[in-house]
A and B are shown apart, each in its own frame.
Chain A
Amino acid sequence: MHEYSLVRSLLRQVETIVFDEGGGVVEEVRIEVGAFSGVEMTLLELAFADESSRQLGYRPRLKTTAVPLQVECERCKCRSVIEDFEFRCGECGNQQVIIVSGEDVRLMEIEIRELNNAS
C-alpha cells in the first residue's frame, strides 16, 4: 500500500507548486501512471480521495492517464510496448532492451481557481 505515501508526496508537491504560483484552489490534478510504476490505479484514486480531504481540507478531481510500458531494443533500436512483462523486442526478439517509458508516476498539470477571482 505505498499508494498512500505516494499520494502524500503528490499533495505536498501540489501544495508547494500552487503556493509558488501565488495560491489558489486546486480544481484538478492530472497525473500519468506508468504500467510498470508499481502503482495500482484504483488504490491510488482511493488514497487521493482520503488524503486530499485530510491534507487540503477538500477534494480536487484526480485525472489519471495510463502510460504503457515501452522498451527500446539495444540492437535494432525499435520501440515496443510490453504487456506481459516478457522483456523482449517486438521486432527482432532481442532480450536486451531498455525501458523508455511507463516506469514512473508523473505530475503533469494542476488546474487551479485563482483566489483573487474567487467569489
Chain B
Amino acid sequence: MTRTIPVGVDLKQQLKEHAAQFRERMAAQGTLVVNLVSSPGAGKTLLLERTAIALGEQLSLAVLVGDLATDRDAERLAPYVAVRQLTTGGACHLEIPLVEAGFELLENQQPDILFIENVGNLVCPASHDLGEHLRVVLLSVTEGDDKPGKYPKMYRTSDALIISKIDLLPYVPFDVAFAEQDARTIQPDLRTLSVSAVTGAGVDDWCQLLMQAHEQLKHGSAASHVS
C-alpha cells in the first residue's frame, strides 16, 4: 500500500536558521561579519591585506579564508591579521557549519570585523547564507563589464559592489558606468566602489564603508543581510 507524506519544507531551512543565529550572535558581541565573494583572482586577498594594514590599528580584524585546497591565502594574510584557512576539499562554496567551526579556532574571538573570504566562484556561494551582515562582491576590470547580468543571483544577494584592479583600466575595455548600471538592474540598492589594492586608490572609501557599517552594528541599526 502506498501513501503520501505531505512535507512542504525549504531544503535549506536548517542552514538558514543556523546562519541567522550566527549573525545574531556576532551582532550581539559587536562583530560585523563581511562575506567577500568574487570569481577566482579578482583580488580579494590583496584587498584584505590592504584593509588590514589600513584599519588594523583602529579596529580588531579576523579573517576566515576559504579555498578548495592549500593554505596560501592564509599564509599571505597571517602577517597582518588573525586568520584561519577553511579548506573545502573540493566543494565549490562555504557553508555556515564550516564557517562557525573555523571561527571557534580563531585566536581573536571578538574581532570588530570578521571577514569571510569565500571560495572564488560567482555561482554556488550566492545560494549560501554564511551569517554575514554584509555581502560584498568584487568584479575585477579584467573580467569584463558584462558580468553582473550573467550572475544575477550573486549580484541580487550582495549589498555592495567593488570594482577592483582599476589601475588596469587604461589597458582593458571595461566601462565602469555600464557595469554599475547592469548590476543595479538586478539590485537597485547596491553600493558601488572602485578600488585598486595595488595603488591604494579607493581603499579609504572601502575602509570608510566598513567603519560606518561597524558603527551601525554597534548602535543596533546594522544592515541585516538577507539572501
Contacts and interface: CB of A to CB of B under 8 A. Distances in A.
Contacts of B149: 85
B207 interface: no
Interface in B155-195: 156, 184-188
Given A21-B5, A114-B3, A117-B1, A87 B156 contact: yes
A18 B152 contact: no
Interface in A93-119: 95-96, 104-114, 117
A113 B5 contact: no
Interface residues of B, number: 30
B7 interface: yes
A87 B188 contact: yes
Contact of B152 (A85, A95, A113): A85
A87 B185 contact: yes
B70 to A, nearest CB: 20
State the main secondary structure of chain A at its contact with B: mixed
Contacts of B3: 111-112, 114
B101 interface: no
A111 B7 contact: no
Nearest to A9: B11
Interface stretch (B30-38, B106-114, B122-130): B122-130
Nearest to B156: A87
B72 to A, nearest CB: 23
Contacts of A109: 4-7
B11 A111 contact: no
B12 A18 contact: no
A18 B5 contact: yes
Interface of A: 1-2, 5-6, 9-10, 13, 17-18, 21, 27, 31, 36-39, 85-88, 95-96, 104-114, 117
21 contacts: A2-B127, A9-B11, A9-B12, A10-B11, A17-B5, A21-B5, A36-B153, A37-B127, A38-B123, A38-B127, A39-B127, A86-B185, A87-B185, A104-B10, A105-B12, A108-B8, A109-B5, A111-B5, A112-B4, A114-B1, A114-B3
Interface of B: 1-12, 91-93, 95, 123-124, 126-128, 149, 152-153, 156, 184-188
